[in-house]
Amino acid sequence: MSEPEPPASTRRPARASRSIVWLIGCIAFINVYAMQSVLPLLMADFDATPVQAGLTVGATILAVALLSPFMGLLSDAWGRKGLICASLFALVLPTALIPLAGSLNQLIALRFLQGLAVPGIVVVLMAYLAEEFQATGGVARMISTYVAGSVMGGFSGRFIAGHAAHWWGWQGAFLTLALLTLGGALLVLWRLPRSRHFVPSRDWRSARMSLRSHLVNPRLLAACAVGCCVLFSLVGTFTYVNLHLAGAPFRLSAAGLANVFTVYLLGVLVTPVAGRLIQRWGFLRTLLGALLVSSGGLLLTLLPALTPVILGLAVCSSGIFVCQAATISFIAGHVSQGRSLATGLYNMSYYSGGALAAWIAGLGYESQGWGGVVALMILAQLLAGSVAALSWQHGTGRSA
C-alpha cells in the first residue's frame, strides 16, 4: 500500500528545504577545488614550481581535514543553523582577499583559511539534516540532495574559475567566486529553517570514550586508510592533469581546462548506481572492482591524444566515486556508536589524502612528468585495495 501524499502546505516547505540544502552543498565545495583549473596561470605569475602551485590546492584540503573531527563536537554544544551561516560568511572573506595576494605564500595562507570554514558547513549540515528530517523519514533524500549539490559545487568551482580566468585572470576568477559565495550565504541565512529539534550536548566524557573505541577499531581505521588513498588519487589526478594538458601537445587554455572538468558531473549519475552495486556485490568486491576500473582509466590518460585522456579521466573519476560510496557505506554498516565522531575521523583521513596528493603527486610530476603522477595514483589505489582486502573480509555485514 502506498504512502498517502502529504498535503501541499507541507510539500512546498520540503521542496524549499531541498533547494537550500542543495545550495549549501554547492557553495561549500565551489571554492575547495577551484584553484585546479588555474594552476598554469599561477605558475606563470608567481614563477612557481608544480609542487608550489599544488600547495594552493592542498592547503585548503588540509584545513578541512584538521578541523573536521572537532566541528561536530562544537556544533553539538553551540547549535546548527547559526554555525552553518557563520561558516558560509567566514568563507567569503578569504575568497575575496585572494585576488589581492602579492605572493604565493599569502595565497596559500588564504586558501588554508578558506578550508577552515568548510567543516562548519558540511559537518554541521549532516547533524542538522539528521535531526530535522528524522521524524518525516526524509534524511536519506536530503543527504542525497546535499551530495548532488556538493558534486555540482566541485564541478562549478573549477568550471567557473577556468572560464572567468580566461577573461579576467585568476584574480577575477576568485572575485567572481567570492560574490557567488556571498550571495549563497545570504540566501541560506534567509531561507534555511531554524533548528526545531536541536538539544545542546556538552558531554565531553562520552565523546572521549567514543574516540578511544574508534581508535582501536581496526575496520574503521582501515576504512579511513582506504578513504585517504581514494581522495589521494582523485586530487593528484585532477590537480596535475591540468599542467599536463596545458603543455604540449595539448596546449589547452584556462577555459579549455575548465571544460575538461565536465567529466566530474558523472558523479551525479554514478552515485545511485554505486548503491545498487554495493547491495548486489557487497562492500569489498564493489570497492575492488571500482579501483580496477579507475586504474584502467588512469592508464588511458597516458595516450598522447585529447580524446582518450578525457575518456580516461571520466572512467577514473567514476571509479573513485564508487569507491567513496563503498567506503562510507562500510563505515555506516560497521560503526554502531559515536557515528558523528567516526564520520569526523573518516573525513580527517579522507581530506588528509587529498592534501598529501597535492604535494607528493607534484614531486612525481616534477621528476617524471604525467607518467610519474599516474604511477603514484595507481600505487595509492593498489594500497587501498590491499588494505580493504585484508581487513574488510570478516565481521558483520556484507563484505564480499
Q: Are residues 310 and 377 located together in one domain of the fold? A: yes
| Residue range 267-287: mean pLDDT, rounded | 81
Question: What are the backbone angles phi and psi of residue 2, rounded to the nearest 5°?
Answer: -75, 155
Cell, residue 47: 614563477
Residues 263 and 363 both lie in one domain: yes
Q: Are residues 47 and 147 in the same domain?
A: yes
pLDDT for 7-35, tens place per residue?
444 444 455 588 899 999 999 999 999 99
Asked whether residue 205 is domain-assigned, the answer is: no
Q: Roughly what angle, to the nearest 10 degrees, separates helices 339-368 and 218-246?
A: 40
Based on the domain organization, do 222 and 342 belong to the same domain? yes
Same domain, 116 and 82: yes
Q: Is residue 352 part of a domain?
A: yes
pLDDT at residue 347, rounded to an integer: 86
| Region of poorest pLDDT, from 172-176, 253-257, 295-299, 321-325 | 321-325
Q: What is the residue-wise DSSP string for 136-169? A: TT-HHHHHHHHHHHHHHHHHHHHHHHHHHHHHHH
How many folded domains does the chain comprise?
Answer: 2
Q: 5 lies in a domain?
A: no
Asked if the model's pLDDT at residue 283 lies above 90, the reply is no
Rounded-to-integer distance, Cα 219 and Cα 392, Å: 7
Q: Could you tell me which residue, 324 or 93, shows the higher pLDDT?
A: 93
Instruction: Assign 71 a pLDDT band (cuts: 50, 70, 90).
Output: confident
Extract the C-alpha cell encoding 356: 598529501
Report if residue 207 sits inside a domain: no
State how far the Cα of 313 lies from the Cα of 315, in Å rounded to an integer: 5
The per-residue pLDDT for 200 is: 65
Residue 262 lies in a domain: yes
Domain that holds residue 327: 213-391
Q: Could you tell me which residue, 93 or 82, shows the higher pLDDT?
A: 93
**Residue 204, in any domain of the structure:** no
- Once rounded to an integer, what is the mean pLDDT over residues 243-250? 93
Q: Are residues 135 and 263 in the same domain?
A: no
pLDDT tens figures, 301-317: 999 999 999 999 999 99
Residue 244 has pLDDT above 50, yes or no: yes
For 192-250, where are the alpha helices, taking DSSP H only?
204-215, 218-246
**Region 56-79: what's the mean pLDDT?**
85
Same domain, yes or no, for 139 and 239? Answer: no
- Which element (helix H / strand E) includes 197? none
- Residue (of 136, 141, 140) closest to 196 by Cα position: 136
- Return the pLDDT at 386: 96
The span from the CA of 199 to the CA of 23, in Å, is 25
Instruction: Using a pLDDT cut of 90, give the percent of the chain over it.
Output: 57
Q: 103-127 pLDDT, tens per residue?
A: 999 999 999 999 999 999 988 887 7
Amino acid letter, residue 319: G
Residues 231 and 140 occupy one common structural domain: no
CB atoms near residue 200 (< 10 Å): 9
CATH classification at residue 32: 1.20.1250.20
CB 261 within 8 Å of CB 37: yes
Which of 8-22, 83-97, 267-281, 372-386 bottoms out in mean pLDDT, i.e. has the lowest? 8-22
Torsion angles phi and psi, residue 5, rounded to 5: -70, 125
Report the mean per-residue pLDDT for the chain. 86
**What do you get for the CA distance between the two ends of the chain, in Å?**
34
Per-residue pLDDT at 127: 76
Are 223 and 176 part of one and the same domain?
no
Which of 74-83, 116-125, 153-162 is predicted with the least confidence, judged by mean pLDDT? 74-83
Note whether 65 and 355 are within 8 A (CB).
yes
pTM for this prediction? 0.84
- Per DSSP, the three-state class of 78 is helix
Shared domain for 328 and 387, answered yes or no, is: yes
Q: Which pLDDT value is given to residue 308?
A: 96
In a domain, 374, yes or no: yes
Burial 5-33 (b: 16+ CB within 10 A, else e): eeeeeeeeeeeebbebbbbbbbbbbbbbb
Q: Confidence band (pLDDT; 50, 70, 90) for 398?
A: very low
In this structure, are 94 and 233 located in the same domain?
no
130 and 224 share one domain: no
Residue 167 is assigned to a structural domain of this protein = yes
Which of 17-31, 160-174, 260-274 is least confident? 260-274
Distance, in Å, from the CA atom of 352 to the CA atom of 1, rounded to the nearest integer, reads 47
